[in-house]
Amino acid sequence: MNTPEKTQISSSLSKFEDSPVFNYINSLSPIKPVKSVHVTQTFNPLSFASLPSIFTSPHVSSHKESRFLKCSTDPSKPELSSADGTKVSPVEDAGVDVHENFDPAVSLGEVSFELPNEPSRIAIELPQTLKYDCGSPDCAPTPCVIEMNCVSQPTCTSLAIVPFVQEASQKGLSDGVEVAATFQIERKKETIGSEWESLISETADLLIFSSPNDSEAFRGVILKSLDPGSTICSTLISQFPQDDISDYKDQTEGITGLSEINSVNESFEDNNVTNIVPGSLTDHVENRMSAPYSIEPGSNLHRGFRRRCLDFEMLAARRKNLDGGSNTNSSVDNKLKPSKAGCDSSRCIVPGIGLHLNALAIASRDNNNSKLETSSSGTQKLILPCTTTSNSPTADNETAHESLLASVSTKRETNDVENGVQLAEDASQASAYLVNEEFNQNSPKKKRRRLEQAGESEACKRCNCKKSKCLKLYCECFAAGVYCIEPCSCQDCFNKPIHEDTVLATRKQIESRNPLAFAPKVIRTSDPIPEVGDDLITTPASARHKRGCNCKKSNCLKKYCECFQGGVGCSINCRCEGCKNAFGRKEGSAILEAEGDPGEETDPSEKNAANKKFEETDILNNEEQIQLLSQQLHYSFAGFILELPLVQLPFSSKGKPPRSFIAIGSSSALYTGHIYGKPNIIQPPNIIEKHFQSVAEDETLEILRGNSSPGTGIKTSSPNSKRISPPQYELGSTLGGGRSGRKLILQSIPSFPSLTPKH
DNA sequence: GAGTTTGAAACT
DNA sequence: CAGTTTCAAACTC
């Protein structure tokens, strides 16, 4: 990537690296100064883009993100790092250093939680973050900034964003303010334990999780070309403070929507950072939220959506924080875990994206309205489904629900009942947690019944585990990386915040067996256009089940089939018999069938029915997909969002959205981050690929060649080797290498692992 | 709502 | 790694 920005950054970095401050820092730290860390710069865009999916991946994303976050805090603590004496990998240098120095308490993710108590902090941090985003010296005049640049560069080099960020920094960020803020934060920090890195990474993830909107926000910034400075700031603010704060608000009790934002705004003013956000911050928030994304500023819906998901990460981070709590700022701990109840609540509140995305994916298909809206803005694609869905008969009794839903009601679209229900459910669930955790354990049937009465119980229904304690992949909730909540009818459920330790341990165990265990089952590949055969669609390559199905009797025509359930065609990876998957038969099935393969009792009527079904449900969507894809490509090209709700789900009006199939943002990545990277992310288009190639071709290729970090090889080492095959391979083989897009995808997927620190 | 079918997950 | 068992969702009645 020879973009001017990069060049500029590199040169700038070099300059700074040679500065006295930098030298001083180096002298204090075992870390070797590394000039212009180009490690994953190429993929930075991905990091942004993949945020949602990354959310779930503490490792990969965390590294990246953590760095990103670290940067924010790092500037202030060169000395601290050295003082801590924590070991840093020389190779990772800056990045690691940042990690160690990074104070979780300072992370944006935490900020969201802490904000209520410390409004000023957020103000400080946000600007910092912005600054960090810009990997260019332009935004970092101070020594601290310089170091930051070194560290952050890898992550901050996103192609599209850099210019904006830089500009923003130039326009709105006050260097002095930033520095001061940094140090202020620094003072609060305490010695960092050896656990920091992990802690940080997770914290970073949390941050990310808390801001599923990040990608959108950035996209919005880019696409809309709004005032970079204000836009970015407002975006960040709107996202973090708004969502997270509002969550916190919910816990503590009804505070009105923008109050937090206002406080944030005040904070900015207090810190002389006001200039960063021209005009009322609130206004910005509103504008950005409502206009570009069609999201209400205080969209509780959105928030509610994210609540359950990724709780695990939150817990993990939090727990680690606690473990090292002796070292960490007590205030932080308190904030993270208010009281027992509050603690749980917070967890519940912790934003998650898995469900959110799921809903989106579905919505893209099912919800025409949402489609329209999505078409108008890429960001909305992801969100609208959420917002549009709050049709929640299910929210009946819960005031909290009502409030949540009410906030979303403006956007309400009734078409997608399922999504709506689920979304509402999520929100309601979250609120339910807030209201009373015991809901989880009590009256599951009642809840379920209520949901069913809602008319779309399917969408809302959660698990019904009886023996697995919801600690196995049998449990949909567990598999999806979310806690069981109200709607669940499970028995002896351990998949609750109270048992966070158990949950985390179990997850780790499962992932140790199969790193992909929590990965999205359906991976969107590249080709959005299903291959429509003569009379039957054969293996649409737009998405594939990561492992493939093993159906024997269902002919892949029922939801027993995970491929079918996920709305994707069977692929070469499938070992199904008599595949008649309406979304695409296993390669060879169609041929065999056409040849009158006895193994496949080809029932013409069935075939036609399947085909018809497909036509009804997918053909149209394919076109839509194409449109969406083009948009998405645009966004992707901007370097922010790579994951798309393109996976088309077959169940429009009935059947709950296959959460487990969402290709995005499952909590899977929690522990698999390094290994699985971000395969979760739906890799779209060729354009992106080109982007990649131009930007990070080198590394990508390396990764593909197996030179990347250990985790790079998706699945090669999967315990389920017999069944799981790398998405890439799948793509390559299934798609038939003719298409460049596929090839590109292969590259792009591996690229994620590159995000992990180089050695 | 109970019972059956199905295939993934887990186990051996 | 293959076969078996367990499990819970999907489905049927």
Check whether A581 has a pLDDT greater than 60. yes
Q: Is the CB of A550 within 7 Å of strand C?
A: no
Looking at residue A522, what is its pLDDT? 77
Looking at residue A135, what is its pLDDT? 36
Nucleotides in chain C near protein beta carbons (<7 Å):
1-2, 6-11
- Asked if residues A105 and A329 have their Cβ atoms less than 8 Å apart, the reply is yes
Check whether A577 has a pLDDT greater than 70. yes
- Asked if residues A179 and A145 have their Cβ atoms less than 8 Å apart, the reply is yes
Q: How many helices (H) and strands (E) does chain A have?
A: 40, 2
Note the CA–C1' distance, A615 to B6, in angstroms: 26
Q: Is the CB of A582 within 7 Å of strand C?
A: no
Which one of A185-194, A213-222, A489-498, A704-713 scores highest in mean pLDDT?
A489-498
- Asked if residues A714 and A675 have their Cβ atoms less than 8 Å apart, the reply is yes
Note the CA–C1' distance, A715 to B10, in angstroms: 19
A664 token code pair: 């995005």
Of A residues 438-497, those with CB within 7 angstroms of nucleic strand C are 458, 461-470, 472, 474-476
Can you tell me whether residue A102 is helix, strand or coil?
A: coil
Looking at residue A479, what is its pLDDT? 87
Looking at residue A328, what is its pLDDT? 37
End-to-end Cα separation, chain A, in angstroms = 22
Which one of A68-77, A251-260, A566-575 scores highest in mean pLDDT?
A566-575
Of A residues 409-468, those with CB within 7 angstroms of nucleic strand B are 449
Check whether A463 has a pLDDT greater than 80. yes
Q: Where are the domains of chain A?
A: 4-276, 353-495, 522-656, 684-753
Q: Is the CB of A183 within 7 Å of strand C?
A: no
Query: For tokens 């992801």, what's the residue?
Result: A382
Region A327-356: mean pLDDT is: 35
Residue A503 to residue A544: CA distance in whole angstroms: 28
A201 token code pair: 């990474």
A743 token code pair: 């090839």
- Asked if residues A31 and A96 have their Cβ atoms less than 8 Å apart, the reply is yes
Note the CA–C1' distance, A420 to B1, in angstroms: 26
- Reported as a single tens digit per residue, the pLDDT across A419-441 is 333 333 333 333 333 333 333 33
- Reported as a single tens digit per residue, the pLDDT across A80-98 is 333 333 333 333 333 333 3
Nucleotides in chain B near protein beta carbons (<7 Å):
1, 5-10
| Cα-trace Rg, chain A | 24
Note the CA–C1' distance, A596 to B8, in angstroms: 30
Looking at residue A571, what is its pLDDT? 83
What's the farthest any 2 CA atoms get from each other in chain A? Answer: 78
Query: Which of residues A649 and A492 earns the better pLDDT score?
Result: A492
Query: For tokens 């930051």, what's the residue?
Result: A148
Q: Is A726 left (phi over 0), alpha (psi -120 to 50) or beta?
A: beta
Looking at residue A298, what is its pLDDT? 37
Looking at residue A147, what is its pLDDT? 35
- Tell me, letter by letter, the H, E, C secondary structure of A450-508: HHHHHHHHHHHCCCCCCCCCCCCCCCHHHHHCECCCCCCCCCCCCCCHHHHHHHHHHHH
Q: Is the CB of A567 within 7 Å of strand C?
A: no
- Tell me, letter by letter, the H, E, C secondary structure of A52-91: HHHHCCCCHHHHHHHHHHHHHHHHHCHHHHHHHCCCCCCC
Give, to the nearest 10 degrees, the angle between helix A60-73 and helix A94-101.
Answer: 70
Residue A423 to residue A304: CA distance in whole angstroms: 8
Looking at residue A22, what is its pLDDT? 55
Q: Is the CB of A552 within 7 Å of strand B?
A: yes
pLDDT above 90 covers a percentage of chain A that reads 0
Q: Residue A532: phi, psi to the nearest 5? A: -85, 115
- Reported as a single tens digit per residue, the pLDDT across A658-705 is 333 333 333 333 333 333 333 333 333 333 333 333 333 333 333 333
Residue A513 to residue A507: CA distance in whole angstroms: 10
Check whether A30 has a pLDDT greater than 60. no
Note the CA–C1' distance, A170 to B11, in angstroms: 61
- Tell me, letter by letter, the H, E, C secondary structure of A103-123: CHHHCHHHHHHHCCCCHHHHH
- How far CA A413 is from CA of A39, A212, A375, in Å, comes to 44, 21, 15
Q: What sign does the CA torsion over A696, A702, A708, A711 have?
A: positive
What is residue A494's DSSP assignment?
A: -
Of A residues 702-741, those with CB within 7 angstroms of nucleic strand C are 721-722
Which nucleotide has the shortest C1'-to-CA distance from A551?
Answer: B7
Residue A341 to residue A385: CA distance in whole angstroms: 31
Cβ neighbours of residue A620 under 8 Å, at least 6 residues apart?
A: none
Average pLDDT, chain A: 45
pLDDT above 70 covers a percentage of chain A that reads 14
Query: Which of residues A650 and A753 earns the better pLDDT score?
Result: A650
Looking at residue A481, what is its pLDDT? 86
Note the CA–C1' distance, A587 to C8, in angstroms: 29
Note the CA–C1' distance, A563 to B2, in angstroms: 28
Q: Is the CB of A479 within 7 Å of strand B?
A: yes
- Asked if residues A67 and A97 have their Cβ atoms less than 8 Å apart, the reply is no
A417 token code pair: 């009942």
Note the CA–C1' distance, A532 to C4, in angstroms: 39
